[in-house]
Structures are given as structure tokens and as C-alpha cells.
Amino acid sequence: MEENETDITALIEKYEQMRALGRNFYFDADEFALLAEYYNAEGDNDEAEQLIREGLRMHPGSSGLMLLRAKTLVFAELYEEALEYLRLISDEGGVEHALLRIESMLHLEQYDDADRLINETLEEDLVMDDLYYFITEAAYLLNDLDKFDRAITFLEESMKIDDTNVDAIVDLAYAYEMKGDLEKAIEQNNRLLDIDPYSYDGWVNIGKLYSMNGQYDKAIDAFDFALTIREDDLPVMKMKALSLYLNDNVREAVAIFEQCLNKAPGDESLYDSLLEAYEAMEQYDEMMKLIDKKEALFGNEGVLAKRAFVHMNREEIDKAKELFEQIPDAEKETLDYYMLEGELAFHDNDLKRAETAYMKAALISEGNEEILDRLVNISVAQEKFEQAAVYLEELLEIAPDFPTAKSRLAFIRFEIGSKEPFDEIMAQFSDEELRALLSLISGSGEAEYPNYSREKMLTRLNEARENRVLFKNIKY
């Protein structure tokens, strides 16, 4: 045990013994501060505040105790009172004092004042330890208030001073994730795993990031490693199953979802995940059994619509319509209801009703890829090509790899007849995708074009556009 640890231990024993005996006690300002910080760290905020008040009664001019008092005000979210109190403290140059003022200003939305104080503090001749502490703590504050750009700037600077601070690395990874820079977030999480290769949280977090970034193989490997550290952990098993499903390994995903359901039959989300996976595998009998099981546990809300969708998938349209008509009024403004209505109307070629239903569904589930996909088809069926292009562009923005979306948008641009928008969508195709389009035009396969340059492929595609034969072999 180091000397300072011995001192604080003895100080705590002395304080608690005197308090137990009901005796008056006297400590100097630094001792009061040490005791208050100890009890605060232990979560005994009432004891800490009592020590601060008693300390200030004996030492009213102590800037250290006054600073602790300001901290308690900030902790209690009394930001205006904290700012007023901080003006009474003479030590204007300390970074702790500046950070408390900055935190209060940020929470009071006094952003210009906070930025000014940050810049003024950085312009001071701070020693390296104070500079590191200030930029790191300021970054934490900025991150908490979703000001990720400046938080990233400060945290990257702090990494140049100390790249082993786990808390700082975690915050930097979070900031990059919130900015949508998943590659940078993954890089920081890998840095954490370099520090602690057996970190359960580290492997789970990087698995999530890989999955969000579409790197499903790596996500699955990360979740597997987490499961070696904490075997059969249900949340990780669910995330692994989802990654498998998104990686088109539906059968293995189903097996894990079924394991999860056996472990947690009361987890309603698992039923929905399994239903989606069974649907992908066209296991409609299994879907019906699972719907029955879910109904027995959670009630019949939404059940008619789910059964109707199964009948739709089986092309048992009359049965689907029969169940649709039985859906109670209380469930007629739900996502499933509108999507079912849209599918049935589209099947009956009632395009106006289908469009209305799916637009209502879109209001409930904004940015839903399936809904946008349906609206594209309905718009094309009505020859509303401009509207279909708008939906496809929105779909590509949220799901750049959505199957056939780029080629469908190219088809629409071709039908509209404008070369400039056609060129814009062609520019989004990879060389491999351009070769695939050329193979569809000729019907002779990709082997005919392996040595074509991108420029030559674009020339051929434009010739096809001009001759209005570009998509004659493509089933829309």
C-alpha cells in the first residue's frame, strides 16, 4: 500500500471513529476534501456533501472545498446556481474550474460562451498533464451533448499524448459511430482489444460495428469470441443469429434463434425474428406453429394479420382476404394492417388503393426498405416513372446494396429518356455490375466482356440506351 493510500485510510478511520463517538472533529481543508472525494467515489453523496459543508464552515476561503461544492451543484444539475457559485472562487486558472463552467454552460445551451472558454483555456500555458486532462474531459462533455466533431478532435489529440486510456478510446469509438464513420469506430475498438484481448464488451461492441458495416463474417467471428468468454449469453447469441441471417446463412440463424427461444420463451422479439427467418426459408408450416405459440403466450393482438401474410406467401389469397376482413378496428392503423392491405390490393390490381395503403405504412415506418420497394413497383405499374425514381433514390440512400435497385433506377431513367440522369446512375455501378448489365443485354453471359474497359462498357450501354434495347432482357 502506498503512502497516500495509508494516509487516507487512517484519515477515514479517524473520522468514522470520532463520528461514532459523537465527538467534535477538526480537519484542515485538504483533509476535508480528501474525505469528501472518498465518500463521493463510494456513492455516499450525502456524507460527501455534509463533509463539504462542515469543511467550508471551518475553512470558508478554501478554493478546493468550494470547487467540490460547485461539483455537487453540477452533479445535481443545478447549472445556473453552479455558474454563480463558481464566480466566487478565486482560482480562475485551474482546468477543473474551467471544466465545471464549461459543463454548466453547455447544459444551459450557452454554446458560444462555452466555446470561448474552451479556446481561452487552450491558449493558456498549460503543463502537459493539465492539457491532457482538459481536452479529454472536455471531449467527454461534448460527446454527452452529441457534439461529436469537436469531441473527436480533442480525443484524437489526447491519443497523441496517451493512447492507452481505455475511457478515452471508448468515447472516441462512440463518437465515430454516432458520426456514421464505422471504419474509424472499428479501428478504435480494435485498439481496445489490443489493450485487453479478452474483453467481453470489446468483442461484443466490435461485433455490433462489423454487423452495422455489413461485414457479417467478421461480426460472427467477434460474437463467437465473446461467447467463448461468456458462454450461452442470450443477447450475443441473438446478435450472432441476426448477423448469420443478414449474411444469407438463414438455416444456421434459425437454429440459433430456436436455441434462444428455448432459453427465453418469454422474449417476444425472438418470435418475430424466427418468423422472418422461417419466411425466408419458405417454412410456412413452422410459421403457423410459431404464430400459435406466440398467441398462446402473448395474446391474439396482430395474429390475424400474421396468419394472413402466411396465406399470402402460400398464394392462398382467398384465405388471406378472409382473415384480413376479420381484423378488428383497434388493429386497423398498424404497420402490418396497411402492408397486408397494400399486398392484397396490388394482387387485385387495385393500384390506387395499394399505393395509399403503402404510403400510410411509410408514415408509420419511415425509411422501411420493403415499403419503398413496394412503392417503386406500384409507381412503375402506374407508369409514374418520376415518382418511382424518387422512391428508388431514397431506397439506395438508405440501402446502397439493395438487390436490383440500381439497375431498376437505370431502367426508369432509360424509360424517362433523359441521358444526364441515366449517366448519373451508371456512374454508381461497379465494373462488375456494368459487365452484368451488358451480359443481360446480349444474353451471352459475362465472358464476352472480361477485357472491356469501363469507358468502353459505358459507351456500349449508352448505345443500347439510344437504341432503346438496354433492358429488353431484364425482368423488372
Please say whether the dihedral angle defined by the alpha carbons of residues 37, 38, 41 and 44, taken in this order, is positive or negative: negative
Q: What pLDDT, on a 0 to 100 scale, did the predictor assign at position 55? A: 73
Parse the chain into domains and list their residue ranges.
393-476
Q: Are 147 and 165 in contact (CB under 8 A)?
A: no
461 SS3 class: helix
Q: What pLDDT, on a 0 to 100 scale, did the predictor assign at position 1? A: 39
Cell of 412: 426508369
Nearest-angstrom CA–CA distance, 429 and 449: 15
Query: pLDDT: is 31 or 398 the higher one?
Result: 398
pLDDT at residue 30 greater than cutoff 80? no
| Residue 139, C-beta contacts closer than 8 angstroms, at least 6 positions apart | 150, 151, 152, 154, 155, 158, 168, 171, 172, 175
**pTM score, two decimals?**
0.71
Task: Quick: pLDDT tens for 98-147.
Answer: 999 999 999 999 999 999 999 999 998 899 999 999 999 999 999 999 99
Q: Are 424 and 392 in contact (CB under 8 A)?
A: no
Query: pLDDT: is 119 or 13 the higher one?
Result: 119
Place of cell 473527436: 152
User: For 211-215, 247-251, 351-355, 405-409, which range has the lowest pLDDT when averaged over its residues?
Assistant: 405-409
| Proportion of the chain above pLDDT 90, given as a percent | 59
Task: Quick: pLDDT tens for 179-220.
Answer: 999 999 999 999 999 999 999 999 999 999 999 999 999 999
Q: Are 296 and 288 in contact (CB under 8 A)?
A: no
Nearest-angstrom CA–CA distance, 226 and 203: 5
DSSP type of residue 448: G
User: For 34-38, 126-130, 284-288, which range has the lowest pLDDT when averaged over its residues?
Assistant: 34-38
What type of residue is 38? Answer: Y
**164-188 mean pLDDT:** 95
| Proportion of the chain above pLDDT 70, given as a percent | 91
CB atoms within 10 A of CB 130: 17
**161-182 mean pLDDT:** 95
DSSP string covering 220-287:
HHHHHHHHHHSTT-HHHHHHHHHHHHHTT-HHHHHHHHHHHHHH-TT-HHHHHHHHHHHHHTT-HHHH
Q: Are 223 and 207 in contact (CB under 8 A)?
A: yes
Q: Are 380 and 403 in contact (CB under 8 A)?
A: no
Task: Quick: pLDDT tens for 378-429.
Answer: 998 998 988 998 999 999 898 887 877 887 787 777 666 666 777 777 787 8
Q: What pLDDT, on a 0 to 100 scale, did the predictor assign at position 130? A: 93
